[in-house]
Structure 1
């Protein structure tokens, strides 16, 4: 099964890291509601003076970057990607779908797939970097196949 890229959401990791998680979440929310009856509300906190950006979701503060986390600005694209997908996939825990990442960086997309659809897509895509993946917090690849 090939991936239907028309169903993918363009996210752009740079946009996520530049205080764009709430906007991207609102863009994905209509489709998320097909799988989650009551999606959580999220909000962002930005402190321009301290150069700090965090997202609040389900009682957690998820820091994208801040002065108290060494190197966090350099890793903000990956961290923002991980946090964004974590917020959505935590809500999908009892669903039969997950929100998979495609590509990364400025070409980051997200798509709802079942695990078997993701495995089928891997078999149909010869390049590992094109495979759908579930982002993790591990620098430098954040879960992306390479």
Structure 2
């Protein structure tokens, strides 16, 4: 008996795509950029952005200069890029370390994806996992959807981070 028939006999009204034989998309984890949300939030945005330079150029983007603004007395951490300021944390924006991790993740992916959108690229920079296991992959939207169809755990699905706590766009 096939897995699909077996699950249907168990009363499942819907059969997961990975069982039903939907188009599977394996993610190429050798191209994963290890980011770590904690590192991003602790003055690591510039270093992480600079590490993407070769891939950004591959996708038609000349990496912009990123400057960091750090005020340990406030405390405040922000980055400046392409004439815009992105506040990672400050007393007005975040109230705890967890929020700064989510905010840093959201802003980092926003910066890269905004640059891809500016050149009308169909590729986007997708987050994989979160927290200390955060990584990023450049994918076409159809490839991200196909990967979601083939990965049984929602937490493993590629996603575009949002600015909404507590999961900041990660599937659960």
Q: What TM-score do the two structures reach when normalised by structure 2?
A: 0.81
Q: Look up the match of 1:124.
A: 150
Q: Choose between structure 1 and 2: higher helix proportion.
A: 2
In the alignment, structure 2 segments of 5+ residues that lack a partner are 1-24
Cα deviation for residue 18 of structure 1 reads 0.3
Q: Would the alpha carbon gap of residues 12 and 123 (structure 1) be closer, same or farther in structure 2, given more than 3 Å must change?
A: same
Q: Report the Cα distance in structure 1 between the residues aligned to 2:130 and 2:33, rounded to whole angstroms.
A: 12
Q: Would the alpha carbon gap of residues 67 and 114 (structure 1) be closer, same or farther in structure 2, given more than 3 Å must change?
A: same
1:24 matched to 2:65? The reply is no
In the alignment, structure 1 segments of 5+ residues that lack a partner are none
Q: Look up the match of 1:80.
A: 104
Q: Would the alpha carbon gap of residues 124 and 74 (structure 1) be closer, same or farther in structure 2, given more than 3 Å must change?
A: closer
The answer to whether the 8 Å contact 1:66/1:73 transfers is no
SS in 1 for 2:93: coil
Aligned residue runs from structure 1 range 1-146, under 5 A = 1-69=25-93, 71=95, 73-93=97-117, 94-146=120-172
Structure 1 segments, 4+ long, off by >3 Å, are none
SS in 2 for 1:75: helix
Q: Report the Cα distance in structure 2 between the residues aligned to 1:72 and 1:134, rounded to whole angstroms.
A: 22
Cα deviation for residue 39 of structure 1 reads 2.6
Cα deviation for residue 57 of structure 1 reads 1.7
Q: What TM-score do the two structures reach when normalised by structure 1?
A: 0.95
